[in-house]
Amino acid sequence: MNKFRVNLVIVILLSAALVAPWLINRYLLRVLTSIYMFAALAESWDLITGKTGYFSFGHGVFFGIGAYAAAIMMLKLQLPFWIGLVAGGGTAVLFALLIGLPILRLKGHYFAIITLGIAEVMKGLALNLESLTGGGVGLTLPLKSGSINEIYFFFYFLMFFLMVVSVITSHLVDRSRFGHGLVAIREDETSAKVLGVNTTLYKITAYALSAVFCGFVGATYAYWISYIEPADVFGLKFSVLIIVMALIGGMGTVWGPVIGAFIFEIFSEMFWSQFLTFHNASLGILMILIIFLLPKGFMEMIYSRRGISFSGIIENLRKYKE
Q: Output the pLDDT for position 79.
A: 92
Q: Is residue 11 part of a domain?
A: no
Q: Output the pLDDT for position 131.
A: 85
Domain boundaries, position 256: 23-321
Q: Is residue 10 part of a domain?
A: no
Q: Is residue 12 part of a domain?
A: no
Asked whether the predicted pLDDT for residue 86 surpasses 80, the reply is yes
CB 213 within 8 A of CB 65: no
**pLDDT tens digits along 161-174:** 999 999 999 999 98
Q: What mean pLDDT do residues 142-157 have?
A: 89
pTM score, two decimals? 0.87
Q: What mean pLDDT do residues 263-278 have?
A: 71
Q: Which one of 158-167, 188-197, 225-234 scores highest in mean pLDDT? A: 158-167
Beta-sheet strands, E only, within the chain: 139-140, 227-228
**pLDDT tens digits along 68-80:** 999 999 998 889 9
**pLDDT tens digits along 271-292:** 666 665 565 666 667 667 776 7
How far, in Å, CA of 266 to CA of 32, rounded? Answer: 9
Window from 96-100, 130-134, 299-303 with minimum mean pLDDT? 299-303
Q: Output the pLDDT for position 95.
A: 95
The length of the chain, given as a count of residues: 322
Q: Is residue 213 part of a domain?
A: yes
Of residues 154 and 310, more confidently modeled: 154
How far, in Å, CA of 163 to CA of 262, rounded? Answer: 12
Q: Is residue 1 part of a domain?
A: no
Q: Which helix (H) or strand (E) holds 305?
A: none
Q: What mean pLDDT do residues 116-134 have?
A: 89
Q: Is residue 40 part of a domain?
A: yes
Q: What mean pLDDT do residues 218-225 have?
A: 94
Q: Is residue 39 part of a domain?
A: yes
Q: Is residue 17 part of a domain?
A: no
Q: Output the pLDDT for position 5.
A: 64
Rounded to the nearest integer, the mean pLDDT of the chain is 84
Confidence at 83, pLDDT banded by 50, 70, 90: very high
Instruction: Say which CATH number the domain at 74 has.
Output: 1.10.3470
| Number of domains present in the structure of the chain | 1
How far, in Å, CA of 90 to CA of 95, rounded? Answer: 9
Q: Which residues contact 227 (CB under 8 A, 6 or more apart)?
A: 138, 139, 140, 141
